[in-house]
Amino acid sequence: MHRRPGCVLLAACLTTFAACATPPGVVSTEARSTPSTEPSPQLSTTSNPSTDSTQPTPSTTPTDDNGIGDSLFPSLGNPGIDVQHYTLALQYDALRNDLSGTVHLDVAMTDDRDEFSLDSDGPIVSKVLIDGQPAKFEAADPELLITPNARLSRGQHIAVDITYRVSPRPVKSQAGEEVGWFPTTAGAYVLDEPEGAHTWVPCDDHPSDKATFRFDLHVDAGKTGVANGALIDHTSSPGGDTWIWQEDQPTATYLVQLLIGDYTLVDGVGPDNLPLLSVVLQKDRTTMQPYLDTISDQIDFFDDYFGPYPFDRYGIAITDSFEGLAMETTERPTFSRADFASGRLDSPQQLFLSHELAHQWFGDAVSPARWKDIWLNESFATYAEWMWLEHIGMGTVDSLANAGLLGRIPGSTADPTVPEMFGYDSYEGGAVVLHALRKTIGDDLFFTLLRRWVADNKGSSRTTEDFVALANRVSGMDLTKFFATWLYADTLPAAFPG
């Protein structure tokens, strides 16, 4: 969730847009560029989602930046490869802030290549193996260039093992805030959206390349290491503790969870026997119980509208991060204890919890194929917040949407700039677009559309144009004019349709 100064309470924010409209350190762009005329990125959107469909199509002309043509982040992603699985075997020495180990990647080649790159900005690589054989490599941050001994052909599967070490620290994101690896007094946490993951692990750091993950975390003795998915094993020895986690659902690198500290794991059972696994600091065990207790009600509410909960388990993780952190890490969003210290379920906590849960459908199950598609995450999660607030009697979607429309900043929700990708028009301003769509096609078709979006695209990464096409199909209407007016336009109508 994006937090603006003085806007911790969305309700307060809604009456004081002027003060809330612009994120910290972000210059509001009064005059926007006209809808993008960039060449279409090398991102396929038509193939079968079950086979990780949104891989870059074979690139004959890699961009100068060694990326895959993302208009907002040209250096992210890597042509010619589709990472299918990562195994991170990492050791973290908190006292020295020293992270070391190996990352193993199962890669399917999507093109014939003499060399390929990974995103890597900071890691000091000492060895690269391809199928067990040493390969040449060159650190050219933010890229790691790898030259195999023999030409790789399209369709070939290779195993890449990278040994590295890094003294990880947060870096300034082009999107505004800091991202990457954050040391804490007792350990660390990560916040990687959008471009933080490759500052602490070499990877294909673009949401179009989702993969499964295994994490072998070796941490200081007595500490807990946490990552996405299921806890597979935990062993303790005087030299340290090892925690093994596994995420079997395709996950984007920006959605990786990694926490090290004095945590306790709390399991439970949710709707339809969904396994729940939450993570709180040991000292917070009692304070956080009300938040753990609300999870099942929220899942129960959302699955009626969005379809079955799309992952194998859920939980929340509340860490000792800076205030305002809320991130939809797959299967277990990460929050800041600073925002939950009261132990009460006031509106900020309701908003945080419902927003990040809704991202499991919108963002995590179906991810953006390009960063300019970020509204597919944030506008949908914001709309879900409004629905939850209405459900618990803390407002109505209509009034929240009206306030949202009033607060729009000139600019297209479908075409954000990097500094504004987590700004107003991607959140409240884009939820307004969804409300206008609902008013145009009616409740039944609107929620059928949302369910189809997830059911058809779960596990893959999609573009705004994919959503528009599905909206046309599901509604049986030609919504071209609607989307031109509400989604692509820089300035919106003064009132909702109907």
Q: How far apart are CA 353 and CA 42, in angstroms?
A: 35
CB distance 192 to 115 below 8 Å? no
Q: In this complex, which beta carbon is closest to Zn ion, that of residue 276 or of residue 381? A: 381
Which of Zn ion, ligand ARG, none does 284 bind, CB closer than 5 to 8 A by kind? none
- Considering the rule CB under 6 A, would residue 191 count as an interface residue with ligand ARG? yes
- Considering the rule CB under 6 A, would residue 422 count as an interface residue with ligand ARG? yes
Stretch near ligand ARG under the rule CB under 6 A, chosen from 65-73, 150-158, 326-334, 336-344: 326-334
Return the SS3 of 100: strand
DSSP code at position 159? E
Q: How far apart are CA 243 and CA 259, in angstroms?
A: 11
Strand positions, DSSP E, 238-366: 240-251, 258-261, 263-269, 275-281, 317-319, 326-327, 334-336
Shortest distance in whole angstroms from residue 355 CB to Zn ion: 5
| DSSP bridge partners of 171 | 179
Antiparallel, parallel or unpaired: β 211-219 and 326-327? unpaired
Antiparallel, parallel or unpaired: β 211-219 and 81-93? parallel
Which of ligand ARG, Zn ion, none does 327 bind, CB closer than 5 to 8 A by kind? ligand ARG
Which of Zn ion, ligand ARG, none does 173 bind, CB closer than 5 to 8 A by kind? ligand ARG
Cβ neighbour number for residue 338 with a 10 Å cutoff: 14
- Considering the rule CB under 5 A, would residue 358 count as an interface residue with Zn ion? no
* Tokens matching residue 329: 């890490």
Which of ligand ARG, Zn ion, none does 449 bind, CB closer than 5 to 8 A by kind? none
Q: Hunting for tokens 């005087």 — which residue is that?
A: 238
- Considering the rule CB under 6 A, would residue 179 count as an interface residue with ligand ARG? yes
Shortest distance in whole angstroms from residue 322 CB to ligand ARG: 10
- Considering the rule CB under 6 A, would residue 277 count as an interface residue with ligand ARG? no
Among 107, 125, 144, 327, binds ligand ARG (CB under 6 A): 327
Q: Report the candidate in 88, 157, 147, 72 with the shortest Cα–Cα distance to residue 117.
A: 147
Q: In this complex, which beta carbon is closest to ligand ARG, that of residue 144 or of residue 353? A: 353
Shortest distance in whole angstroms from residue 377 CB to Zn ion: 6
Site map for ligand ARG, 342-381, x if CB under 6 A? -------------xx--x------------------x---
Q: In this complex, which beta carbon is closest to Zn ion, that of residue 209 or of residue 378? A: 378
Among 326, 365, 433, 441, binds ligand ARG (CB under 6 A): 326
- CA of 292: how far to CAs of 170, 295, 301, 308, in Å? 29, 6, 15, 20
Return the SS3 of 396: coil
Which of Zn ion, ligand ARG, none does 195 bind, CB closer than 5 to 8 A by kind? none
Site size for ligand ARG, by CB under 6 A? 15
- Considering the rule CB under 5 A, would residue 7 count as an interface residue with Zn ion? no
C-alpha torsion sign, points 349, 192, 382, 27: positive
| DSSP bridge partners of 215 | 88, 245
Q: Report the candidate in 92, 26, 97, 36 with the shortest Cα–Cα distance to residue 69.
A: 36
- Considering the rule CB under 5 A, would residue 381 count as an interface residue with Zn ion? yes
Tell me how far apart the 2 most distant CA atoms of the chain are, in Å. Answer: 68
Site size for Zn ion, by CB under 5 A? 3
Q: In this complex, which beta carbon is closest to ligand ARG, that of residue 1 or of residue 13? A: 1
Residue ranges binding Zn ion (CB under 5 A) = 1, 378, 381
By the criterion CB under 6 A, which residues form the site for ligand ARG?
1-2, 173, 177, 179, 191, 193, 326-328, 355-356, 359, 378, 422
